[in-house]
Structure 1
């Protein structure tokens, strides 16, 4: 499995993502800078978390128009798997690769903790090693993770099975208690129409190694390896 990690001014999870991808695949990812205008042939592109361009204007708004994102959009159109984590999710929505938007957390405060997620779909290269309905614990770290979309878009995501992960309580309840940021319908991650593009706010690369105290994110990367190798 060959991979690339996009690096923007302000990215702070690019190395974490690169380490996880290398550990699972045995191959160093190509690190692509925001000004690059091309990428080698790869199987998966990661748009990592951080504060691209200082989160000016809106989170991800400037990064979405960087030269490298033109290439990412072209590759996504060809079916190359693209994942956006945290700020990467924000960038993918701003670039039009995913619907909806990420706005300020309902509390208007930055959230940094481990949350409970329910795996809503295993029919993708990103989630195939999880069990349907499995509850996993994955860290979050964001101030603008509140996923919003109009009712028709939310209904379409639900009806087409394009909700990847949902915030829940430890007991699996989908309610306000288990929703850390106010996201519509407790949505933590979504797919595009072909399930080849994923955006999610929680960080699976931060729950990869036993030294993290939690390896629930490992299956995310194992899923990619099994599908793309």
Structure 2
């Protein structure tokens, strides 16, 4: 990380998030980030919109969700600027995933059965929480600085803290899930220690894509001990 870039990360519950003075800046930053494709392998509409209103993120996360936000500036000598975000919410699975290997290749047994039988082999991908809406400004100034990694770590640490405080009987390890477009950011999340547990073929128009793509369900396990 660039030692000259000092930033701090704060956590906000889904109920507190809409009341923040910078919420419109966060919404704009997220939408700008999602309009940038990370590879040339898949194209998205230039008008792609992830959050349609300033309350959309809070509504999506639900009562148990929360968001980590990265800032620069102290609000005194320097204006506070939102330079990144990542959120956690309860994982909800549609049970329509095609089995894959950990690096995303389709399971051989499923492939050998052919397309007609694939629906019979679709399965659920059990998880506990979903990492969602990970975004940085599209400008190079804030990319490649480790900001996203800090935000994800803050979210994971908060999940572990909540489990310890609540004293709940939770599975060990806790399974953190993420849904990504394989062709766009799949390789990045593999490098971050996530493994592929299922895939879905998504039609043109899904997630504002301009072509078909493969969605991966990925998991990273956190030890609660």
Bigger relative contact order, structure 1 or 2 (CA pairs below 8 A, ≥6 apart): 2
TM-score normalised by the chain length of structure 2: 0.23
TM-score normalised by the chain length of structure 1: 0.22
